[in-house]
A and B are shown apart, each in its own frame.
Chain A
Amino acid sequence: MSNDRWTKKLKKKMEQSVGRRNFLKALTGVTAAACGTTVVAKAVEKVIQPENSTEVPFSFEKFFQKHYQEMSPEDKKRVFQRIEEDTLTSRGVKVNIKDPLPIEGVKFAFALSLSKCNGNRMCVEACVKENNQSHDPEIQYIKVIEMDAGSFNLEKGDMYYEGESVPKPGKFYLPVQCHQCDNPPCTKVCPVEATWKEKDGIVVIDYDWCIGCRFCMAACPYEARRFNFTEPKLPKENINPNQGYLSNRIRPKGVVEKCTFCLHRTREGLNPACLEACPTGARKFGNILDPNSEVSQILKTKRVYILKEDLGTVPSFFYYFD
C-alpha cells in the first residue's frame, strides 16, 4: 500500500530532472517504504531537500569529468561552458569562466605591514565580494586577529572583535589568509589530489574533484581553508560574473575552498582584491623573482616575520614592520 505510493512518487520524480539529491531522496523513500517507515522517510526528505535549492543537477558529463591537470584545451572549453550553463540555470546569472595560466618566470608573494594594518576589515569585505563566498553560512578567507601589543599569542587573539574605532589602543592586528606555502602540508594529505601547487606558487583546488574529506583543513597550520557545509548562499546581485575555474567560481556544496591570491586577477597583472581595498597601504603584492619588485625590496630592507616559521611550511606570505 505504502509501496504503491512511493513508486508513484518515484516515477513522478523520474519524469522530472534526476538530480543526485532527488535520486538519493527517492532511493531513501523506497528503502524506507520497503521497511514500512514512511514517517522516517518524510522526515529525511525534509532534511535533505531544502526548498529553492541552487544545487546543480547531476549530469554524466560532470560525473565523468577529468582532473583539471589532465584536461586538454578542448576539454576545458567544454567544461567551462557547462559550468556557465549550470550557473545560469541554478542561479540565474550569466557568468564568464576563464582559466588564466601561470606566467613564466613569476612567483607570487605577499607582504603585509603589521605596523600599518589597523584592523578595519575592508580586505575581508572586498574578498567576500570578489570571490563569491557564501554569505550564510558565512565564509571568509581572511581572519583579522586582534592581539595585545607586545604579545604574540594566537590562542588569546580575538577575530570576532567589534571595532567602533580602530586601531584600538594597545592592540595590533594580524590578518591571516592562505600563505601559499612552498612546502604545503595541505596538498600532501589530499587522498584524491584535488589540491596542488601551481608553477607560480599558488595552491589551488579543483572544486569538481574535491571529495570534501577535509584532511587539508586539518593539515593547514594557518586555518586558511574553509568548508562549504551547505550550498553557498549568496544573493544574485552579489555574484561576481568574472570567474576563474580554479579560484572564484561558485563552489558546490561539500568542497573545500581557500584564498588563491585572486589568481583570476593577478595572473592578468592586476592586484588582489584585498590589496585594492586596503586604505592603509599595508598590503604589498608582487613577483618575488623580480629583484626590483616591491615585495623583493621589502624582503631585502625590512624586518620580516614569518608566521609559524618553525613548521617548515615556507610560506609566500610575509609580515613586516616599518
Chain B
Amino acid sequence: MITKLWVSIIIFLLVVLPSVSMADRTTDIAGDKIADKKIMTQHFPEAEKCQHCHVSLHEITNLRLLTGDKTNSIPELCGQCHGVVKRNWDAGVHGKQVGGWKNPKPALVCIKCHEPHHPKFAEMKAKKAPRRPNLGIRKDAPHE
C-alpha cells in the first residue's frame, strides 16, 4: 500500500506538475495540439504565451510585435526591448564577426547565437588548463 502511494506521488510529480507549469503550451487559438517539442520559456515573466511573439503556432516564422503588427524581422522583434543591443548590432559592434575582417559578411541574426526561449548564454566547460611549469614550484605555494 505504502509503495503504491509513493509511486502515485512520484507519477504526480513527474507528469502532472510539469504540465501544469507549462500552461498554454499545447493549445493554440483553435485548440489543436501543435507543439510537439515542449518549450520552456525563461525569457521574461510575461512571455508564457507563445502568441506574445508568434502570430500563430502554425506559422511560427510570422512574428508579432508588441503593437500587434506583423513582422518577419527577428532583430526588429528583439529590438523592442533590447534597444541598445539592437543599436550596437546595427553598427556591427554586437555579435560574432564572420567572413573575415576585410569583407565581413552580414552579421548573424539574434537567434543564431541566442536561443529566444531562454536567451541567457548557457554555462560551458572550459578547455583544459595549461600545465604548471615544472620548475619545482609547489602548487598553490603561498606568495611571500
Chain A residues within CB distance 8 Å of chain B: 118-122, 124-125, 138, 140, 143, 155, 159-167, 266, 269-271, 275, 278-281, 283-287, 293-294, 297-298, 301-302, 322
Contact = CB atoms under 8 A, between A and B. Distances in A.
B82 to A, nearest CB: 12
Main secondary structure of the interface of B (DSSP, over half): loop
Contacts of B6: none
B124 interface: yes
Interface string B79-99: 000000000100111111100
B129 interface: yes
B115 to A, nearest CB: 13
Given A155-B143, A294-B92, A294-B104, A271 B127 contact: no
A140 B133 CA distance: 12
B93 A302 contact: yes
17 contacts: A118-B121, A120-B127, A124-B127, A138-B130, A140-B130, A163-B125, A163-B126, A165-B125, A166-B123, A266-B101, A269-B101, A270-B101, A279-B124, A281-B94, A287-B101, A301-B93, A322-B94
Given A269-B101, A269-B103, A270-B100, A121 B92 contact: no
Contacts of B126: 119-121, 161-164, 166
A122 B124 CA distance: 11
Interface string B41-55: 000000000000000
Given A140-B130, A297-B91, A301-B93, A166 B143 contact: no
Contacts of A159: 129-130
Contact of A120 (B88, B92, B125): B125
A289 to B, nearest CB: 12
A32 B57 CA distance: 86
Nearest to A124: B127
Given A286-B101, A297-B91, 8 more contacts: A118-B121, A118-B123, A120-B125, A163-B129, A271-B101, A281-B96, A294-B101, A322-B94
B124 A285 contact: no
Interface residues of B, number: 26
A307 to B, nearest CB: 20
Nearest to A275: B97
Interface of B: 88, 91-97, 100-104, 113, 121, 123-132, 143
A292 to B, nearest CB: 8
A166 B124 contact: yes
A161 B123 CA distance: 15
Contact of A297 (B93, B102, B121): B93
Contacts of B129: 121, 159-163
B93 A298 contact: yes
B123 A167 contact: yes
A125 B91 CA distance: 30
B104 to A, nearest CB: 7
B97 A138 contact: no
Nearest to A163: B126
B85 to A, nearest CB: 8
Nearest to A173: B126
A161 B143 CA distance: 17
B125 A294 contact: no
Contacts of A298: 93
Nearest to B85: A322
A279 B123 CA distance: 12
A121 to B, nearest CB: 4
Contacts of A155: 143
A164 B97 CA distance: 27
Contacts of A270: 100-101
Nearest to A267: B102
A284 B123 contact: no
Counting from the closest, the 6 A-B pairs by CB-CB distance are A163-B126, A269-B102, A281-B96, A121-B127, A165-B123, A286-B101
Contacts of A281: 94-97, 113
Given A281-B94, A294-B92, A122 B143 contact: no
Nearest to B108: A281
Contacts of B121: 118, 280
B26 to A, nearest CB: 32
